[in-house]
């Protein structure tokens, strides 16, 4: 863990203070105080593509917003992990040229994007373990609506997972690969989709489901590649 913390500290040294403001007009400007990067921790084999999300935590007023399109995505091991797709800056893929543990993924908002070293920033971090292996880039895409939902214990929610095409019309198998809280049940229907198409993620909680925030991972796989995205379930 120490090497990752040192690498994060070096990034924060470039941005002298972890405070950035984004204006949305009228009244006090909301203050961005922290960023949550999802998925938060992963172990990867081969070269699957991971779709990352950045959630900004604000004060004045207190709120959480999806700022995925506003952040600068970086890794501290670009020879092993790379955000290399200009059309999708939040798509991360292992390069296949190396392996490593506790590799850093960073989402950065600079107050002065034109001259980052002179400005302040807020930085969100995640970590990835990469096992050695081979693979290829995905020829489909995954998106989720809504990104997050809040439910009371004992109730449920539906998310729509859209499978888009990058090339051809692949058949994509869908799986829930982590994050479902205790006392809850999650299903995907249908479990196989010929892109383009949609499936529904249904999450049902019970009275015993603990309160908390849960990133649920959904992975789509075709014959040559896989993609993983996350949706957020808040039980409150």
Looking at 55-64, 166-175, 211-220, which range is the least confident one? 166-175
Residue that terminates a domain, selected from 109, 131, 153: 131
Same domain, 122 and 10: yes
Tell me, what's the pLDDT at 116?
53
DSSP helix/strand/coil, 4: helix
Q: Count Cα atoms within 13 angstroms, Cβ side, for 16.
A: 5
Same domain, 115 and 31: yes
- Please indicate, yes or no, whether residues 197 and 101 belong to a single structural domain of this protein: no
More confident residue, 117 or 196: 196
Q: Are residues 99 and 173 in the same domain?
A: no
pTM, 2 dp: 0.56
* pLDDT at residue 3, rounded to an integer: 53
CATH of the domain at 162: 2.60.40.10
> Are both 82 and 183 inside the same structural domain?
no
Mean pLDDT on 171-178: 91
Q: For residues 47 and 116, state if they share a domain.
A: yes
How many alpha carbons lie under 13 Å from residue 136 in its C-beta half-sphere?
7
Name the residue range of residue 34's domain: 2-131
Q: What does the pLDDT read at residue 119?
A: 61
pLDDT in tens, 55-94: 999 988 888 888 999 999 999 999 888 998 888 899 998 8
Q: Are residues 25 and 127 in the same domain?
A: yes
Last residue of a domain, one of 131, 159, 185: 131
pLDDT surpasses 90 at 100: no
Owner of token pair 């990752």 = 4
- Do 161 and 222 share a structural domain? yes
Q: Which of 173, 178, 157 is nearest to 39 (CA)?
A: 178
Query: The CATH number of the domain where 73 resides is what?
Result: 2.60.40
**Greatest CA separation for the chain:** 52
Specify the range with the lowest mean pLDDT, choosing from 10-19, 156-165, 193-202: 10-19
Mean pLDDT of the chain: 80
pLDDT at position 107 is 94
pLDDT tens for each residue of 22-39: 334 444 467 899 999 988
The closest alpha carbon to 230, from 80, 30, 104, 53, belongs to 53
The verdict on 27 and 56 lying in the same domain is yes
User: 135, 224 in Cβ contact below 8 A?
Assistant: yes
Residue 197 has pLDDT above 50, yes or no: yes
**Is the confidence at residue 189, as pLDDT, over 80?**
yes
Domain count, the chain: 2
* Mean pLDDT of the 13-28 span: 39
- Vertex 168 angle, CA 163 and 174, to 5°: 30
Are 20 and 40 part of one and the same domain?
yes
pLDDT on residue 113: 54
Q: How far apart are CA 102 and CA 219, in angstroms?
A: 21
Does one domain contain both 160 and 119? Answer: no
Per-residue pLDDT averaged across 192-208, rounded? Answer: 94
Does residue 166 have a pLDDT over 70? no
Tell me whether residue 50 is exposed, middle or buried, using C-beta atoms within 10 angstroms of its C-beta: 0 to 12, 13 to 18, 19 or more: buried
Of 82, 99, 131, the position where a domain reaches its end is 131
Q: Are residues 15 and 98 in the same domain?
A: yes
Strand ranges, E, within the chain: 20-21, 31-38, 41-45, 49-51, 53-59, 63-66, 72-75, 81-82, 91-94, 100-110, 121-131, 140-145, 148-151, 156-165, 171-178, 185-189, 192-194, 197-204, 212-221, 226-235
């Amino acid at each position: 863990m120490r090497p990752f913390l040192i690498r994060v500290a070096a990034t924060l040294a470039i941005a002298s203070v972890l405070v950035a403001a984004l204006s949305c007009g009228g009244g006090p400007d909301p203050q961005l105080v922290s960023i949550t990067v999802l998925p938060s921790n992963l172990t990867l084999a081969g070269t699957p593509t991971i779709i990352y999300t950045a959630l900004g935590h604000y004060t004045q007023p207190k709120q959480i917003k999806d700022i995925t399109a506003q952040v600068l995505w970086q890794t501290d091991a670009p020879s092993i992990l790379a955000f290399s797709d200009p059309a999708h800056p939040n798509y991360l893929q292992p390069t296949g040229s190396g392996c490593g543990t506790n590799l850093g993924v960073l989402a950065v908002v600079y107050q002065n994007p034109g001259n980052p070293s002179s400005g302040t920033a807020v930085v969100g971090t995640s970590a990835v373990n990469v096992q050695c292996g081979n693979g290829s880039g995905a020829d489909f895409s995954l998106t989720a609506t809504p990104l997050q939902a809040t439910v009371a214990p004992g109730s449920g929610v539906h998310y729509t997972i859209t499978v888009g095409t990058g090339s051809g019309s692949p058949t994509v198998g869908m799986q829930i690969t982590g994050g479902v809280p205790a006392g809850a049940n999650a299903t995907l229907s249908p479990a196989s989709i010929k892109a383009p198409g949609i499936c529904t993620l249904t999450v049902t909680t019970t009275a015993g489901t603990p309160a908390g925030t849960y990133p649920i991972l959904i992975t789509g796989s075709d014959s040559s590649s896989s993609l993983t995205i996350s949706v957020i379930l808040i039980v409150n």
